[in-house]
Amino acid sequence: MVCGGRPLIGEVEMPAAKNSILPILAAAMLAQGAVRIRRAPRLRDVETSMQLLAALGCPAVRIDGDLLLAPGGPVGDTVPRPLMAAMRSSIYYLAPMLARGKRAHITFPGGCRLGERPIDLHLKGLAVMGARIVADGDHLDCAAPDGLHGTEIHLRFPSVGATETLLIAAAAAAGQTRIFGAAREPEVGDLAHFLIACGARIEGVGTDRLQVWGGALHGCEYTPIPDRITAQTVLCAAAACGGQVLLRRAPLAPLQPMAEILTRAGCGIRQLGENDLVLESDGRLLGVGSLSTGVYPAFATDAGPLLAAAMLTARGDTALRETIFSNRFGCAAQFARMGAELDCDGRLLQIHGVPKLHGAALTAQDLRGGAALVIAALTAEGESRITGVDYIRRGYEDIARLFGQLGAKITEVCLPVHTAASAGVSV
């Protein structure tokens, strides 16, 4: 429940990045020794990852806000179908299963319905590293009887997920692996730095060419980078609502595309020290014209719906073209229910700013689209009721508390989070 129309004022601290911690948890299965992940957020996808780790014989427990894993024992060869279907990141477990146990029985991963999301780059890369993969419908029977071996891999598209899958595999493979056309997102670099902390040798971090020398890994303690998408969620909300917010643990560099756009829209943004950021806005934004999402360091696809929500009441037009997913703007129909003037034609969302939005009954249909509905509701007059919050919980520990710290009038009805365990899966 959101009562909008209030400025956002105060400070918030950014949590560890969802898109870092999920592949890191999978990669931790390769270690021979305890792994401690600091500042682990209580996200739905993190909880699903913990169930998945337990199903594979590597349980994780929470201790003082951290996650503690004790890998090194026997590895299971099967992931229960509901856990695979619960999130896109379940695919990350294929590489450590093959590296440690040499067999894997899985189904295709689930996740938000953003359009076609193939895993062919993951599978083709693992195949050239020695895996045998047989598909039967949505089931994959995978084996690497001789283990994984280093090789040269050329990705035709800089897929974040495929890069991370192959990086995990390469860290455990025999010999040297070179990955060309690798994704350069900060979360890919974070996974590489975690593996390095575990003893891996990796060169080219932050570039599109990675060299990895496989070998035995040991345990470590590691703190993932701050969540840049959560930071952009706060920035877009404060820009549209008006006010002044201080973001702790929000370095400017990975937020630069969004910061430049919001500055063009009329906001003031400045960096404090190395890791903090201040945004000031009077809430009267200007349309920013035509923009396109792209691979890092371009404007992020995850941030598209967030910016769209902020631009609904801007003076002038904004056109957002999505280049990664075909259904990124599924939230557009919900914006229209609030009085927004827009047109969505596949990957292109055209917005003509209106003076105000009104509260409405809304339904979240994916993670970032759900967060965008919260932003729109915060700017609207009156009260909005948002359902489908399980999608939002996948990437935000407590979005009501996040914005409540900034003076927003927002509350969440606390219902049990649906998990695979509650659906009858034994883990």
Q: Which of 195, 216, 237 is the last residue of a domain?
A: 216
For residues 25 and 146, membership in a common domain is answered with yes
Above 80 in pLDDT, residue 411?
yes
Q: Return the pLDDT at 326.
A: 87
For residues 201 and 340, membership in a common domain is answered with no
For residues 321 and 204, membership in a common domain is answered with no
For residues 195 and 302, membership in a common domain is answered with no
The mean pLDDT of 33-49, rounded to a whole number, is 97
pLDDT in tens, 387-402: 999 999 999 999 999 9
Above 80 in pLDDT, residue 40?
yes
Helix ranges (H only) for 106-159 are 120-128
For residues 200 and 262, membership in a common domain is answered with no
Q: Return the pLDDT at 353.
A: 98
For the chain, percent of residues with pLDDT exceeding 90? 92
3-class state of residue 73 by DSSP: coil
Residue 90 tokens read as 């379940």
Alpha-carbon torsion (239, 369, 296, 165), positive or negative: positive
Q: Give me the DSSP letters along 307-356.
A: HHHHHTTSBSEEEEE-SS-TTTTTTHHHHHTTT-EEEEETTEEEEE--S-
Query: Rounded to 5 degrees, what angle do the CA atoms 318, 319, 321 make?
Result: 150
For residues 62 and 186, membership in a common domain is answered with yes
For residues 178 and 320, membership in a common domain is answered with no
For residues 242 and 323, membership in a common domain is answered with yes
Task: Tell me the pLDDT of the chain averaged across its residues.
Answer: 94
Q: Which of 194, 216, 238 is the last residue of a domain?
A: 216
pLDDT in tens, 296-311: 999 999 999 999 999 9
For residues 151 and 295, membership in a common domain is answered with no
CA distances 86 to 92, 94, 423, Å, are 13, 15, 11
Strands 66-69 and 348-352: unpaired
Task: Say how far residue 314 (Cα) sits from the centre of its chain.
Answer: 27
pLDDT in tens, 111-136: 777 665 689 999 999 999 999 999 99
pLDDT in tens, 198-215: 999 999 999 999 999 999
CA distances 44 to 34, 228, 332, 425, Å, are 23, 18, 24, 16
Evaluate whether residue 415 is within a structural domain: no
pLDDT in tens, 350-386: 999 999 999 999 999 999 999 999 999 999 999 999 9
Residue 369: φ, ψ to 5°:
-65, -35
Domain coverage including residue 373: 2-15+229-410
Confidence of residue 413 (pLDDT cuts 50, 70, 90): confident
Asked whether 399 and 423 are in contact (CB, 8 A), the reply is no
Evaluate whether residue 58 is within a structural domain: yes
CATH number at residue 277: 3.65.10.10
Q: Which amino acid is at 401?
A: R
Evaluate whether residue 223 is within a structural domain: no
DSSP bridge partners of 179: 153, 210
Evaluate whether residue 55 is within a structural domain: yes
Q: Return the pLDDT at 112.
A: 78
CB atoms within 10 A of CB 216: 12
- Among all residues, which ones are annotated catalytic? 112
Q: Return the pLDDT at 412.
A: 82
Evaluate whether residue 364 is within a structural domain: yes
For residues 50 and 149, membership in a common domain is answered with yes
For residues 256 and 323, membership in a common domain is answered with yes
Which residue shows structure tokens 């455990």? 172
